[in-house]
Amino acid sequence: MPIHPLEPQRLYRQIAEQVRTLITAGEFPPGSRLPAERDLARQLGVSRPSVREALIALEVEGWVEVRTGSGVYVLDRSRQANGAARKVPATEWGPLELIRARRVIEGEIASLAAAQATRKHMKAIREAIAWMKQDADRNVAPLDGDRAFHTAIAEACDNVVLLETVQAFWDARHGPLFTQLGGHFETVASWRKAIAEHEAVLAAIEAHDAGAARAAMQNHMDKSHTRFSASWRRANAS
């Protein structure tokens, strides 16, 4: 029998597997509501963000449905058409964990940018924010402008490793987990809040204040994490 290499499982996948096992064993039959995130987190000995990532993975794969203002309900998979659900790649990062990683790295990148940014770089950052505003005014998610904003800041560091790291982090939001989570919590109103946070980062970079730039970027990531961690009852409320 051939030996197959083992791959470390991300925590949210381990949690999702446990919940999936309980569902298939009949512990949570179709139509039933799963326990609250805080209860699942306490029972499993993990953080609530990790539980949220697991529930989103289960929703992507057609095991549960998140109902705004109510909770998370088990679906009847016998009634699902073949191929209706997507699969979450084993390599996909958890969205909330990704935001925490971005806080660490992009905070330092913003600090470097404040020390090194030229007029050309600051012009690119301003244009990215203007692009975001234009899309938000048209009720379009300003994703292209957001990517341009974070890319422009990384470019100011004159380090291709940092630039490609930022771009890889940002592009990870196109995965099924981040897309599904964003569908619950991203609105034009939430994007306008993010734009204001971007403007604070720009102001610090223009002032060449490295500490303020780091703090502003970290604050932006903290606020993003909070928005995606809000109660399901508040999903799409703003």
Query: How many C-beta atoms surround the C-beta of residue 5 within 10 A?
Result: 4
User: With left for phi above 0 and alpha for psi between -120 and 50, is residue 85 left, alpha or beta?
Assistant: beta
Domain boundary among 22, 47, 79: 79
Note the pLDDT tens digit of each residue in 117-129.
999 999 999 999 9
Note the pLDDT tens digit of each residue in 79-117.
776 555 678 888 899 999 999 999 999 999 999 999 999
The reply to whether 237 falls in a domain is no
Q: Whats the size of the chain, residue-wise? A: 238
Are residue 116 and residue 177 in the same domain, yes or no?
yes
Are residue 128 and residue 198 in the same domain, yes or no?
yes
Task: Answer whether 139's CB lies under 8 Å from 188's CB.
Answer: yes
The reply to whether 159 falls in a domain is yes
Q: What is the CATH number of the domain that holds 203?
A: 1.20.120.530
Q: How confident is the model at residue 6 (pLDDT cuts 50, 70, 90)?
A: very low
- Partners of 74 in beta bridges: 64
Domain boundary among 48, 79, 110: 79
The reply to whether 213 falls in a domain is yes
The reply to whether 2 falls in a domain is no
The reply to whether 207 falls in a domain is yes
CA-to-CA separations, 25 to 5, 18, 28, 128, in angstroms, rounded: 29, 11, 8, 50
Q: How confident is the model at residue 234 (pLDDT cuts 50, 70, 90)?
A: low
Structure tokens at 113: 């940018």
Q: What is the CATH number of the domain that holds 22?
A: 1.10.10.10
The reply to whether 85 falls in a domain is no
- Partners of 73 in beta bridges: 33, 65
Are residue 181 and residue 122 in the same domain, yes or no?
yes
Note the pLDDT tens digit of each residue in 24-55.
999 999 999 999 999 999 998 999 999 999 99
Are residue 75 and residue 108 in the same domain, yes or no?
no
Are residue 70 and residue 103 in the same domain, yes or no?
no
Are residue 195 and residue 156 in the same domain, yes or no?
yes
State the sign of the Cα–Cα–Cα–Cα dihedral 100, 104, 110, 116: negative
Task: Answer whether 28's CB lies under 8 Å from 37's CB.
Answer: no
Which among 7, 174, 180 is positioned nearest to 90, based on CA atoms? 7
Structure tokens at 120: 């050309």
Are residue 211 and residue 100 in the same domain, yes or no?
yes
236 vs 197 pLDDT, higher one? 197
Task: Answer whether 116's CB lies under 8 Å from 223's CB.
Answer: no
Are residue 61 and residue 164 in the same domain, yes or no?
no
- Write the DSSP assignment of the chain as a string of letters: -PPPPP-PPPHHHHHHHHHHHHHHTTSS-TTPBPPPHHHHHHHHTS-HHHHHHHHHHHHHTTSEEEETTTEEEE--GGGSPTT-S----TTPPPHHHHHHHHHHHHHHHHHHHHHH--HHHHHHHHHHHHHHHHHHHTT---HHHHHHHHHHHHHTTT-HHHHHHHHHHHHGGGSHHHHHHHHHH--HHHHHHHHHHHHHHHHHHHTT-HHHHHHHHHHHHHHHHHHHTS-GGGTT--
Are residue 134 and residue 183 in the same domain, yes or no?
yes
Number of domains in the chain: 2
Domain region containing 126: 95-230
The reply to whether 40 falls in a domain is yes
**pLDDT over threshold 70, residue 64:** yes
Are residue 61 and residue 99 in the same domain, yes or no?
no
Domain boundary among 53, 79, 105: 79
Average pLDDT, the chain: 91
The reply to whether 225 falls in a domain is yes
Q: What is the pLDDT of residue 8?
A: 54
Distance in angstroms (rounded) separating the CA atoms of residues 47 and 51: 7
